Chains A and B, each alone.
Chain A
Amino acid sequence: MKQIVNIEVNGDVHEVAAEPRDSLLEVLRDHLGLVGPKRGCDGGGCGCCTVLLDGRAVYSCMVYVLSAEGSAVTTVEGLAEDGQLNPLQSAFVEAGAVQCGYCTPGMIMTATELLADGEDLDDDEIRHGIAGNLCRCTGYQKIVDAVQNVARNR
């Protein structure tokens, strides 16, 4: 039986009727049309569904949407400001950290949390931080470079 859940997504409050089994990812993609978060493994292993839930990176495929009642969600669609890419998104473009692009929204959301507290990050910390996100194209170095560029230049 469907239940009503209220979640704030990228600043807008939504009231969604969801089945108990529905994941946050399903609601974001299928109910709200936000296809930035991707369905990869659907089992908490690849990271391309990563979103911020109350500011913390989570696998949205593993979050039952009814448990997210009253939470604030940020997807990659919520990062651009006035139609301009934010500094992290721009850094991914400039560093060539995007190839097929499938992992990119999740990578960027994970990196957003890594960069959130404003502390310096060494490359090891960045690599450790994105360990829950798989990329099969870039070999990771350019992704690390992109995150490091933002960390250094802020």
Chain B
Amino acid sequence: MELDGFFTPENSDEVIELLAQFGDEALVLGGGTFIHSLAVRGLLARVRLIDLRNLALVGIESASAGVRLGARTRCAALARGPSEDGRWLGAVHDAARHLPLQVRNAATVGGCVAAASPFFDLPVAFMALDGVVGARGSNGIREIDIEALYLGLFENSLQQTEFIVSVTLPRMPAGSASAFVKFASNANDLAIVSAAARVTVDASGRCTDARVVIGGGVANRPWRSRAAEGVLQGATLGTDTLEAAGDAAASDVEPLSDHRASGRYRKAVAGVLVRRALTAALARVP
């Protein structure tokens, strides 16, 4: 990598100017863990790093409408919980805890989303919670549904002069809970398959809303399985239904084959993990 310049802009307008000036060579730096992992593999050509450290984008703001995560919030800040009234956020806490301590302490919310990697854990959880990405550009902040942020492998839908300032998770109704599970070769590796599930259950035990998202190379981006959600919607969530949702999710994906696992293997694991994520989410429903 030819790293040709390191910039520490003082405000959003300066960030946008630098993004406009350097075009494809500009990379916004959060914690640097993803950028470093590309650089050591020789996957970056000429790069100018734009470090956001002077911008006040750190913090978790909880309001009645939901929780807003500043883009520079370290993933470590999400690893504790969920609190008693935050069970709907369970998937986020689960996913943050899967990162090794040293990565959790460096990696940022904005960076892990902007990377557009299907192998990362937190975006899978964010997608299960209908996360909305705030992208700052020259015309102010544009809100992007996180599912629409992902175009393909390492490819996001940000415009050249936009950068991520926040991820907002809308508060889920009473009776909601979520969970994230991951299957990897070891505690420090990327996911072979991961799954996040969120359910909302009414007083009679019927599922009124559900999200099922699968990560880790079952597609070129985190994959929302509407087929699995269709099985859950309106159903009573017994063992048979969860099993059927897992089967539907597995049928719904055409996974990648790589050095970590074959596509066929991932497909089988996806069904199991969806069932486990749903079981874990259900166990958290108050």
Residues of B within 8 A of A128 (CB): 97, 187
Cα A19 to Cα B47 with chains together (Å): 13
Set of chain B residues within 8 Å of A148, measured between Cβ atoms:
none
A3-B32 contact given A62-B106, A129-B101, A132-B100, CB 8 Å threshold? no
B40–A42 touching, CB < 8 Å: yes
Q: Which residues of B contact A43 (CB under 8 A)?
A: 36-37, 40-41
Once the chains are docked, how many angstroms separate the CA of A20 from the CA of B97? 31
Contact B101 A19 (CB under 8 A): no
Tell me whether A59 and B102 are in contact (CB under 8 A).
yes
Whether the pair B40, A131 counts as a contact (CB closer than 8 A) is no
Instruction: Decide: A131 and B36 in contact? CB cutoff 8 A.
Output: no
Q: Is B4 interfacial (CB-CB < 8 Å)?
A: yes
Secondary structure of the B contact surface, majority rule: mixed
Task: Please tell me if the beta carbons of B102 and A132 are within 8 angstroms of each other in the complex.
Answer: yes
Q: Chain A residues near B101: list those with CB within 8 A.
A: 57, 110, 113-114, 129-132
Number of B interface residues at 8 Å Cβ cutoff, please give it.
Answer: 29
Q: Is the CB of A3 within 8 A of B6?
A: yes
Determine the distance from Cα of A3 to Cα of B8 in the docked complex, in whole angstroms.
Answer: 12
Contact, CB under 8 Å: A64 / B6: yes
Roughly how many angstroms separate A56 CA and B37 CA in the complex, as a whole number? 20
CB distance from A72 to the nearest CB of B (A): 14
CA of A66 to CA of B54 in the docked complex: distance in angstroms? 13
Question: B6 and A66: CB pair below 8 A?
Answer: yes
Residues of A within 8 A of B278 (CB): none
Give chain B nearest CB distance to A58 CB in angstroms: 5
**Quick check: A56 and B188 within 8 Å, CB to CB?**
no
Q: Which of chain A's residues have a CB closer than 8 A to the CB of B135? A: none
Given A23-B36, A56-B105, A132-B103, 13 further pairs, Cβ under 8 A:
A21-B39, A42-B40, A44-B37, A47-B100, A53-B105, A62-B32, A62-B106, A64-B6, A64-B36, A66-B49, A69-B53, A131-B188, A134-B188
- Residues of A with Cβ closer than 8 Å to B? 1, 3, 19-21, 23, 42-45, 47, 50, 53, 56-59, 61-64, 66-67, 69, 110, 113-114, 128-132, 134
